[in-house]
Structure 1
Amino acid sequence: MDHGNRDGRGAGRRQFLMVLAAAGAALTPAALWAQARSGAGAAPPGLMPSQRALLDRVCDLTIPDSDTPGALAAGVPAFVALALAHGLDGAGAPVPATRFTGGAGPDGATVLDWLRFELDLKTGGAFLTAAPAAQVQALAALDGAAYAPGGPPGGDPSPWRVLKGLIVTGYYTSEAGASRELQYELVPGHWDADVPVGPHARAWSSDWTAVDFG
């Protein structure tokens, strides 16, 4: 038996597993939030000012301020920008031309390129300069098409589903989303058979670490 080769293979496996572990840790929401906080106030990586403005506005419309801070106030755009840069949940993959309305998108388009194109089209001009009501209507139409019963034409999921997933993940793993928007009870300890729920009742979180983030 060649112990030298066996040990070499063992070392190789250990190194490989260490690389996988490091890569996985780098793509967790907690790691992205740590990186986002360390660069607070700086421009998100890889984004032009117009892309940053678009991401800010879309995050704000997706989860606006209420009696708790919304996505923009919670710093979610910086989280999403880092998630895009790292390709979290496949967000870094180019958007196929067929996903653009009319099927004539540019090669190598990003999720934000696609988003700007679709929202500009739905507002009949520049989305960012459209009236707030028109912006809400455009984003609602995009969201409705992305989650329509039966799925989108062609079977490919809308890029909006990926981006919205990042916004929601970023918000509910932020301080504001996890501890102020959600109610938290570490150990419930009893069974409530009938819990009154009103239109403004908040969701409960007792173990957010059990959530599958993809």
Structure 2
Amino acid sequence: MRSTISPRAVRIANSTSGSWELADVSQTEGSWQRRDFLRGAALLALAIGVPVAGVSLSDLDASEAPTDRQREMMRRVSQAVLPATDTPGAGDVGVGDFVILALAHGLDGTREPAGSAEIPWAVPQYQRRDGSVRYVDWLEGTLSRMGNGDFLRRDDAGLHDLVARIDAEAFAEGADAHPWRAIKGLILLGYYTSEVGGSQELRFELTPGRFDPALPMGPNTRAWSSDWTAVEFG
């Protein structure tokens, strides 16, 4: 079991055994073209099926560019959901940046206008003019409120407690439209479509491989990323 924050039955849509450590890219200070943003861009490119350059070098609205604080927040929150064990955690493999990019590109419907059911969770200051939710801003504001200040000064255990409280609220009865559900789903998607998640945390064997009609299963048995239609967490 990786985390006490349950993944909550999120299906994995793909897997890979490739590497995302790219050699070079045009840089612009303070923008999304920075080289250290490429791991998240590569994860997003894999998830939506476009070239990496089409993500990392696309012209995004300046209002969507994350602050350094927001990037660190997403890195640590991702790590809290899927911490390092005998394999690297989600924050270690660039999932935080993936989530920020995925939200900016509207992956999984995250740029659609919020309906009336979502308004209690997405108060007006976290909504765009078109009614869609600024998820990163919402998470930053929520953690600041719950943490009574600078939540990034908390140690990993303290931040995990805050994330666990948000998680419990988001998956309570009647909270289907809670913003955390979308963020968490993208954390899981980014991690389990990464090289580490798909071939180390999960087991990978090229299909068809061999047929084993019966295999011993235990509580620590890893799922197969190469059989993604059967992978379900929760």
- TM-score, normalised by the number of residues in structure 2: 0.63
Task: Give the Å deviation of 1:138.
Answer: 0.8
Distance 1:207 1:33, change over 3 A: farther
Q: Structure 1 counterpart of 2:65, which letter?
A: G
Q: Aligned to 2:84, which of 57, 65, 73? A: 65
Rounded to whole Å, the distance in 2 between the matches of 1:105 and 1:111 is 11
Do the aligned partners of 1:36 and 1:82 also contact (CA within 8 Å) in 2?
A: no
Local SS of the residue matching 2:93: coil
Q: Structure 1 counterpart of 2:102, which letter?
A: A
Do the aligned partners of 1:93 and 1:110 also contact (CA within 8 Å) in 2?
A: no
Rounded to whole Å, the distance in 2 between the matches of 1:121 and 1:151 is 22
Q: Does 1:77 align with 2:96?
A: yes
Local SS of the residue matching 2:136: helix
Deviations along 1:99-152, one digit per CA (max 9) or x if unpaired, are 15xx5645435101111122122222221112332211110011111112x232
Q: Aligned to 2:217, which of 196, 202, 209? A: 196
Report how many aligned residue pairs link the two structures: 174
Q: Does 1:31 align with 2:49?
A: yes
Do the aligned partners of 2:45 and 2:51 also contact (CA within 8 Å) in 1?
A: no
1:18 maps to which residue? none
Do the aligned partners of 2:144 and 2:151 also contact (CA within 8 Å) in 1?
A: yes
Higher relative contact order (CA 8 A, sep 6+): 2
Distance 1:53 1:93, change over 3 A: farther
2:145 maps to which residue? 121
Local SS of the residue matching 1:73: helix
Distance 1:178 1:107, change over 3 A: closer
2:106 maps to which residue? 87
Q: Structure 2 counterpart of 1:98, which letter?
A: P
**Runs of 5+ unmatched residues, structure 2:** 1-43, 58-63
Do the aligned partners of 2:126 and 2:135 also contact (CA within 8 Å) in 1?
A: no
Distance 1:107 1:78, change over 3 A: closer
Rounded to whole Å, the distance in 2 between the matches of 1:83 and 1:142 is 21
Q: Does 1:179 align with 2:199?
A: yes
2:171 maps to which residue? 147
Higher helix proportion = 1
2:75 maps to which residue? 56
* Deviant stretches of 4+, over 6 Å: 36-39, 209-212
Local SS of the residue matching 2:75: helix
Q: Which has the larger radius of gyration?
A: 1
Local SS of the residue matching 1:99: coil
Distance 1:134 1:94, change over 3 A: farther
Deviates more, 1:111-120 or 1:121-130: 121-130
Q: Structure 2 counterpart of 1:189, which letter?
A: F
Do the aligned partners of 1:59 and 1:72 also contact (CA within 8 Å) in 2?
A: yes
Do the aligned partners of 1:98 and 1:104 also contact (CA within 8 Å) in 2?
A: no
